[in-house]
């Protein structure tokens, strides 16, 4: 879907020759052609930009010139469909070639003249050139397949200004501006010049010459001339000498003036003191128009006067010519010349035809003898008069003529083809030179283009409420405000006050640098005299790199007719020196009083306190740029005190550090009048080191820092939402683009995207804008395209980039000229500068292929109702809040124990679909839920109907209705939903999302039906398993995964196999490992396979042997895997399953399998070998030798089987780890060969070796928190299993292995389910409680805040609000046997008055400070009921733990929770077992400040517990401690 082209601003015409405009018609389309810069521009009949033909691209050998010249003139040939342009000695021909779908202009041929060309003319394969040395005559064969130009002759003559070729004979005519002579040279049939040129003298300077186009079959030649005093003359050959021309007739302006009835005085002739302007209608075009007009009148029975019909029929029969004259009174007078081809010449006559009024806004002086007629044939023929540009009127102007109305002298007979200028428009603004860069106002209403040679153009972007189909009814979006030239090209520019006020930084070569302020008055194309901003005196080696101006009407949404009262201008140099000026406007609404200049005052001059990472000295930033104000939707400056409220400057250090700066100047601005009372006022503050500026009195405050470690930054931009894009050039020349967020923490480095472009894709410009819902959009400009990049909604079920391209503007469809700059404007419009042209794209989308003109873009087919109509809606669709029934949001609700909410949403969705079907609507109408529904903890009250029965007896009882009768979510609802997902009512979901929604509904129903046997952890695994199966089905078929496909560049390339492999997250395995419903989970995992037979690949993908608790079923399931593996191969190869069977100790089974493999070449050897007793050392050694032999042959799995057979399981597992790269297989084998876990004992040495040497390094190196948590839990380090969920991984790596720290990669923190697991585990056992208390509240707060942002990026805004609103920062408290007054155990992060820098400090955040004694805590984020909590498991051997504060000490792991805990070998009596299952009530009292002695350590707790146990095994009930 391309963007609609709203408006195209063509370049200004070149006024270097008399041929500065041409017309040509191709089929039913007409074009106006003119030279502009180094291009040839083609306009439509409505003067909309159609095509651009780069002149120098047609001459590749000249394309590399350092200073390509501008095009001097153009000439068009309607017969050959050729456009000719020239500059200097080069001539280029373009020809229109039509294809089946569309046509295009292609280079036809090129010519190099002997000297510089001043003018030319082309007709029927003959080209005549007027050069500096005279005249050249060229010819080619138009019918030849290969174009070959031959120069026949060259003659020296004075350089002609205009040269023309006779269409019927071989005569050439020319003249030179300022002279009174025209010259005619005859040629023969071979093209050779005959005789000498005839000089035809005139009494006045010649303004125009041209040849009459005779009728077909006539060879007469008539030369027309017009002099500067508006006298028209006709020259023709004499009868006896066809080479000699003489005057035939003349007509001056008085003859036209007499046709107008002027009021005159008595006896006096009306006075006429002006010559007017005269031009000749092309006779060939006139004949076509008269013929077409008569046919249209007769065909459509158009009512015209008889007099008009007689005149038109006479024009057709007599083949007359028409001469037009415009006077200063605004009248257009026509006279006809008849009998011009008859003999003798005395029959020639001139007759008055008509007169009519010019359009009101048409100036008579804008017409000239070079005006041309363009006839566009078609069902409705069109006749256009195209006015040639001049120095006084430099733009192309055209008028549509109705011949019948003109001859009838009707009003509106002449109408302008283009839309009239608005009252606010100063005039048409077009650029002559190529654009260097753009600048805009903070709100994007004003646009400034800075061109070469100091050319400047200003426009205003109107806010129009027109739909694309009505654009032609309204004014233009960009209206010209000013066009002027400056002696020096400004280095930096800033606009404010809707573009009327412009600030420039210029540094002339022979002068000092200045910053000036200019005001552009309404109706004036040039600004006022500049005002130099005071006290600006940078060092000689310093340059301003940042210039920002914000006024009160550009701050946020500006009003309609308000005028600027105050503004702030900020400038910063490369060395970090910053100035801030205050501008107070005193311009009256009349804007005519030049004495009312604004008051400008310096309010701050300060050097930013930049520090280097390597030393404390001030450093020079590599870049300094503004925080882009485009998209500021709230107040940026408090205008009551003139205090900026947001960051305004971004500095980038040489080390790649991003530092954001906010000016702190409110105290300097408010209420200060005298200059000497302003601290940083007109007496500029020179800040050197620490001189003069006290702590806290700095003028600029560093608000945040982001460390990117990018030292080769070549381009950067920062959005108003403080998203920063950096472009770095790599060693191989490629460009790397990274996007950074300013919000960084322990869990986010700020990096959101990294992408390296291909070698040929070099980024030229960057620009940000912000949507109405505060989403940042980046435009990345290349040489011939602009790529739009926006934030992409994060997915819970797959890995997606944080940003992705969503739209591309291919500028080669509009122009071959490279892009110079692009910039966002108000309303989501994008202005793209190519050469000296500007293309303005609206935010609206079209469905057809992009059109090269605004008119074509306006007529493109409208979008369907369910498709987004603009890029803002498209971005919201890709990254905005999800609809309530979106499967991603519903899946998250299920994970966060909001099953009732999911059921109610699905039920309402089915009702809405039914209602829409009944109403005949094609699109779903679903009322969004109130956000409070997502965090409401109220249980639905069960309505019990009052019984009418009276209870007279004692044993009468009331039986409430069952729950199932009240639950609307049933099988019927799910089936109806699945049937209607692809029904007549459309949902804004893709095919894959609809499939996910059906999966969510079915999984919710399944969980509801099994809610009594399926715990919460199991339900989470089941939901994820169902989603994975759905994804696996979609990715393995041809069903599209995304809703739309585009040809945009992919920021992350991933194959379907990689997506399927990485789709099932390890988090699901961890959930299953903590579930007590493992039989149901195992059954559900088997059901994912069609035949119910699970292979090892399936089991490994779902982590079955990681979460399945070791038991006899564990062995049987592993045996099933081995059996399935043997049966899936047609060859029945026993080597594929020998490893597992040997680990299970079933050698006889393998022996039996070998008997069933008669075709195997190793059958006989293996049958004989397996009959031996491998309990003997001899056969163990033999098996080991065979294993090493198989290793050398790279038969790794079979080698591992022989290691297992030889009684060396560790070697077998080592082969799995090192060669097979399958650590899950190693874990499964270790749990079988070491039955410790099955017997309720700690894990064995092999299992510990696998986890410590393989699994944990993989987890830390890849940043896999879930894998590390599972590994620590399996190791018995449950405290670390909890801490690893949210703590920095490098700290956990050091605590676990201080002597040999693990390598830590980039941790995966963008997962809200980590908080779920943390909530689930933090009070599960003493170890987890210990680990929880080692996590500071500030760290937990930051992690909650980070994952709230993750919810926001997932589109689950309601869940993000719920998380922030209801998360509880409570901590499990350890009991004490002594009195609470003296023996209270404090948490690890106490609030102390003597907090040191090394102690974590409690954040002063609203919500955390309210956790005081006696405060009623908010409910936790999980939907907790009023039921009692699970008890804390005693998984710490209190007799063995002497230094609990030593996190590296590994406590003895707990036994199976189903067994009775044992303390120091003393069995706990049944009473203690029951006590362990009692609820452990959380203390509601918050930690309070206390003075030394320090809080009691956990080691003291263990000693007290040891005494309790030794004093008679008292009942351990945590409730006794509160």
What would the 3-class secondary structure string for 758-808 be?
A: CCCCCCCEEEEEECCCCCEEEEEECCCEEEEEEECCCCCCCCCCCEEEEEE
Instruction: Identify any residues that bridge with 587 across adjacent strands, giving them in sequence order.
Output: none
What's the CA gap between 683 and 582, in Å, rounded? 14
User: Residue 635: its pLDDT value, please?
Assistant: 63
Token pair 């906010």 in the structure block, residue: 662
User: Residue 283: its pLDDT value, please?
Assistant: 86
Question: 3-state class of 44 per DSSP?
Answer: coil
Closest CA to 359 of 417, 277, 278: 417
How far from chain centre, in Å, is Cα 1097?
A: 39
| Sheet with 397-401, side-by-side order of all strands | 372-376, 382-387, 397-401, 414-416
Residue 543: φ, ψ to 5°: -130, 145
User: Residue 957: its pLDDT value, please?
Assistant: 47
Residue 106 host element (H or E): strand 103-112
Closest CA to 128 of 102, 101, 107, 154: 154
| Cβ-Cβ contacts under 8 Å for 1116 (sequence gap 6 or more) | none
How far from chain centre, in Å, is Cα 1439?
A: 61
What's the CA gap between 492 and 1014, in Å, rounded? 67
How far from chain centre, in Å, is Cα 419?
A: 33
Helix 971-980 / helix 899-919 crossing angle, nearest 10 deg: 50
Instruction: With a cut of 70, list the residues of the chain below it in pLDDT.
Output: 1, 62-67, 100-102, 259-273, 345-346, 420-424, 465-474, 554-564, 586-596, 612-618, 631-635, 639-642, 665-697, 797-798, 847-866, 936-967, 1031-1063, 1372-1522
Helix 1289-1296 / helix 1265-1275 crossing angle, nearest 10 deg: 30
User: Residue 1384: its pLDDT value, please?
Assistant: 38
Sheet strands (E) in 340-388: 349-357, 372-376, 382-387
Closest CA to 1352 of 1341, 1339, 1364: 1364
Q: Is 446 left (phi over 0), alpha (psi -120 to 50) or beta?
A: beta
Ordered alpha helix ranges (H), 1276-1406 = 1278-1283, 1289-1296, 1313-1321, 1326-1333, 1337-1354, 1357-1366, 1380-1383
Does pTM top 0.85 for this prediction? no
Task: Provide the sign of the torsion angle of the four alpha carbons 63, 66, 71, 72, taken in this order.
Answer: negative
Token pair 């999800």 in the structure block, residue: 882
What is each CA distance from 107 to 90, 93, 95, 337, 500, in whole angstroms?
Answer: 13, 6, 6, 40, 43
**Is there a contact between 20 and 32 (Cβ–Cβ < 8 Å)?**
no
Question: Residue 1080 is encoded by which pair of tokens?
Answer: 């149901």
Question: Residue 1005 is encoded by which pair of tokens?
Answer: 């129903």
Q: Is 682 left (phi over 0), alpha (psi -120 to 50) or beta?
A: alpha
User: Residue 422: its pLDDT value, please?
Assistant: 64
Question: Residue 847 is encoded by which pair of tokens?
Answer: 């469905």
């Amino acid at each position: 879907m391309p963007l609609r082209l709203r408006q195209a601003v063509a370049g200004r015409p070149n006024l270097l020759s008399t041929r500065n405009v041409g017309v040509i018609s191709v089929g039913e389309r007409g074009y106006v052609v003119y030279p502009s810069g180094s291009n040839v521009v083609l306009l439509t009949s409505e003067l909309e930009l159609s095509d651009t033909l780069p002149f120098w691209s047609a001459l590749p050998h000249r394309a590399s010139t350092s200073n390509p010249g501008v095009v001097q003139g153009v000439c068009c040939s309607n017969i050959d469909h050729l456009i000719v342009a020239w500059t200097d000695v080069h001539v280029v021909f373009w020809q229109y070639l039509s294809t089946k779908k569309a046509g295009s202009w292609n280079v036809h041929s090129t010519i190099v003249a002997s000297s510089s060309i001043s003018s030319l003319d082309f007709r029927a394969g003959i080209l005549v050139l007027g050069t500096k040395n005279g005249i050249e005559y060229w010819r080619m064969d138009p019918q030849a397949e290969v174009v070959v130009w031959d120069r026949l002759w060259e003659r020296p003559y004075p350089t002609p200004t205009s040269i023309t070729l006779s269409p019927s004979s071989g005569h050439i005519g020319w003249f030179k501006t300022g002279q009174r002579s025209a010259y005619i040279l005859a040629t023969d049939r071979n093209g050779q010049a005959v005789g000498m040129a005839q000089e035809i003298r005139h009494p006045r300077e010649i303004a125009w010459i041209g040849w009459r186009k005779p009728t077909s079959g006539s060879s007469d030649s008539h030369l027309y001339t017009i002099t500067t005093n508006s006298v028209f003359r006709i020259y023709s050959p004499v009868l006896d000498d066809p080479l000699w021309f003489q005057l035939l007739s003349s007509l001056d302006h008085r003859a036209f003036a007499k046709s107008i009835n002027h009021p005159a005085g008595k006896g006096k002739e009306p006075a006429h003191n002006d010559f007017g302007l005269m031009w000749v209608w092309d006779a060939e075009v006139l004949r076509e128009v008269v013929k077409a007009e008569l046919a249209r009148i007769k065909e459509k029975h158009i009512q015209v006067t008889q007099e008009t019909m007689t005149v038109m029929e006479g024009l057709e029969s007599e083949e007359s010519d028409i001469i037009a004259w415009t006077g200063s009174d605004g009248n257009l007078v026509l006279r006809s010349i008849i009998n011009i081809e008859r003999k003798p010449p005395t029959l020639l006559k001139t007759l008055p035809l008509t007169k009519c009024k010019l359009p009101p806004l048409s100036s008579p002086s804008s017409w000239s003898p070079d005006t041309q007629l363009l006839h566009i044939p078609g069902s409705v023929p069109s006749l256009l008069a195209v006015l040639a540009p001049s120095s006084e009127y430099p733009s192309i102007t055209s008028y549509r003529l109705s011949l019948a109305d003109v001859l009838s002298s009707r009003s509106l007979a002449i109408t302008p083809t283009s839309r009239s200028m608005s009252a606010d428009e100063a005039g048409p603004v077009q650029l002559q030179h190529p654009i260097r860069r753009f600048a805009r106002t903070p709100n994007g209403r004003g646009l400034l283009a800075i061109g070469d040679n100091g050319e400047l153009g200003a426009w205003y972007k109107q806010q129009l409420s027109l739909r694309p189909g009505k654009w032609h009814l309204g004014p233009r979006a960009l209206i010209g405000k000013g066009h002027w030239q400056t002696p020096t090209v400004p280095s930096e520019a800033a606009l404010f006050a809707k573009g009327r006020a412009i600030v420039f930084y210029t540094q002339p070569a022979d002068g000092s640098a200045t910053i000036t302020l200019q005001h552009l008055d309404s109706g004036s194309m040039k600004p006022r005299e500049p005002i130099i901003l005071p006290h600006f005196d940078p060092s000689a080696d310093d340059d301003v790199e940042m210039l920002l101006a914000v006024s009160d009407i550009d701050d946020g949404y500006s009003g309609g007719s308000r005028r600027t009262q105050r503004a702030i201008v900020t400038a910063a140099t490369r060395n970090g020196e910053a100035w801030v000026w205050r501008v107070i406007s005193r311009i009256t609404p009349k804007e005519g009083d030049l004495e009312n200049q604004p008051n400008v005052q310096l309010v701050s001059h300060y050097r930013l306190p930049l520090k280097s990472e390597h030393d404390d000295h001030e450093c020079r930033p590599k870049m300094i740029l503004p925080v882009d104000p485009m998209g500021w939707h709230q107040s940026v400056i408090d205008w009551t005190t003139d205090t900026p409220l947001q960051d305004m400057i971004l500095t980038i250090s040489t080390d790649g550090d991003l530092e954001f700066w906010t000016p702190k100047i409110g105290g300097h601005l408010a209420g200060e009048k005298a200059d000497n009372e302003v601290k940083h006022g007109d007496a500029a503050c020179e800040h050197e080191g620490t001189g003069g500026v006290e702590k806290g009195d700095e003028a600029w405050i560093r608000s945040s820092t982001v460390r990117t470690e990018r030292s080769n930054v070549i381009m950067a931009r920062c959005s108003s939402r403080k998203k920063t894009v950096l472009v770095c050039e790599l060693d191989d020349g490629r460009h790397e683009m990274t996007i950074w967020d300013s919000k960084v923490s322990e869990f986010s480095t700020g990096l959101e995207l990294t992408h390296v472009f291909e070698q040929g894709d070099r980024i030229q410009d960057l620009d940000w804008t912000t949507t109405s819902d505060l989403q940042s959009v980046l435009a990345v400009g290349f040489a011939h395209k602009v790529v739009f990049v926006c934030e992409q909604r994060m997915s819970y079920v797959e890995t997606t980039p944080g940003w992705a391209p969503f739209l591309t503007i291919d500028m080669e469809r509009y122009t071959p000229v490279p892009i110079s700059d692009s910039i966002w404007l108000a309303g989501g419009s994008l202005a793209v500068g190519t050469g000296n042209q500007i293309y303005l794209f609206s935010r609206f989308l079209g469905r057809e292929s992009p059109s090269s003109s605004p008119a074509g873009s306006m007529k493109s087919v409208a979008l369907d109702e369910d498709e987004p109509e603009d890029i803002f809606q498209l971005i919201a669709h890709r990254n905005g809040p999800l609809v309530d029934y979106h499967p991603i949001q519903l899946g998250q609700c299920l994970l966060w124990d909001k099953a009732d909410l999911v059921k109610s949403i699905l039920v309402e969705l089915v009702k809405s679909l039914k209602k829409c079907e009944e109403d005949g609507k094609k699109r779903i109408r679903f009322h969004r839920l109130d956000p409070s529904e997502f965090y409401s903890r109220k249980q639905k009250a069960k309505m019990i109907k009052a019984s009418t029965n009276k209870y007279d007896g004692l044993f009468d009882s009331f039986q409430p209705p069952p729950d199932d009768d009240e639950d609307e979510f049933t099988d019927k609802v799910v089936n109806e939903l699945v049937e209607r997902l692809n029904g007549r009512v459309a949902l804004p979901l893709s095919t894959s999302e609809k499939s996910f929604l059906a999966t969510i509904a079915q999984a919710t129903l399944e969980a509801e039906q099994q809610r009594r046997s399926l715990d919460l952890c199991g339900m989470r695994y089941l939901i994820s398993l169902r989603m994975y199966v759905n994804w696996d089905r979609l990715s393995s078929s041809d069903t599209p995964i995304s809703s739309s496909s585009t040809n945009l560049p992919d920021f992350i390339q991933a194959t379907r196999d990689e997506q399927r492999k990485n789709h099932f997250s390890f988090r699901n395995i961890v959930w299953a490992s903590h579930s007590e419903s493992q039989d149901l989970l195992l059954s559900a995992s088997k059901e994912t396979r069609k035949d119910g037979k699970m292979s090892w690949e399936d089991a490994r993908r779902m982590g079955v042997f990681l979460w399945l608790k070791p038991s006899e079923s564990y062995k049987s399931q592993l045996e099933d895997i081995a059996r399935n593996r043997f049966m899936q191969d047609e060859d029945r190869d026993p080597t594929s399953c020998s490893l597992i069977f040997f680990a299970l100790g079933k050698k006889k089974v393998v022996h039996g399998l070998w008997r069933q493999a008669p075709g195997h070449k190793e059958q006989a050897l293996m049958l004989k070998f397996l009959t031996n007793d491998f309990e003997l050392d001899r056969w163990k050694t033999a098996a080991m030798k065979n294993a090493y032999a198989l290793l050398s042959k790279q038969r790794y799995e079979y080698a591992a089987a022989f290691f297992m057979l030889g009684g060396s399981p560790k070697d077998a597992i080592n082969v799995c780890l090192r060669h097979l790269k399958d650590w899950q297989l190693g874990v499964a084998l270790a749990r079988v060969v070491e039955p410790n876990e099955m017997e309720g004992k700690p894990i064995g040495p092999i299992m510990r070796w696998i986890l410590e040497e393989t699994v944990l390094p993989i987890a830390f190196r890849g940043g896999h928190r879930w894998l590390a948590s599972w590994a620590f839990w399996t190791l018995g380090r449950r405290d670390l299993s909890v801490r690893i969920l949210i703590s920095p991984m490098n700290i956990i790596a050091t605590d676990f292995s201080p002597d040999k720290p693990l390598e830590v990669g980039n941790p995966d923190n963008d997962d809200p389910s980590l908080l779920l697991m943390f909530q689930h585990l933090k009070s599960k056992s003493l170890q987890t409680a210990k680990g929880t208390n080692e996590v500071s509240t500030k760290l937990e707060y930051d992690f909650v805040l980070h994952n709230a942002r993750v919810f926001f990026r997932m589109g689950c805004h309601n869940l993000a609000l719920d998380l922030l609103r209801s998360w509880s920062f409570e901590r499990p408290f350890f009991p004490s046997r002594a009195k609470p007054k003296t023996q209270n155990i404090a948490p690890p992060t106490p609030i102390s008055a003597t907090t040191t820098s090394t102690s974590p400090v409690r954040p002063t955040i609203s919500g955390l400070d309210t956790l005081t004694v006696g405060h009623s805590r908010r409910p936790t984020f999980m939907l907790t009921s009023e039921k009692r909590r699970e008890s804390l498991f005693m998984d710490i051997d209190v007799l063995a733990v002497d230094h609990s504060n030593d996190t590296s000490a590994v406590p003895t792991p707990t036994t199976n929770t189903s067994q009775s805990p044992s303390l120091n070998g003393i069995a706990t009596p049944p009473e203690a077992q029951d006590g362990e299952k009692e609820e452990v009530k959380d203390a509601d009292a918050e930690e309070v400040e206390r003075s030394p002695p320090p809080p009691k350590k956990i080691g003291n707790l263990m000693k007290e517990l040891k005494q309790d146990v030794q004093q008679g095994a008292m009942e351990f009930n945590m409730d006794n401690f509160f």
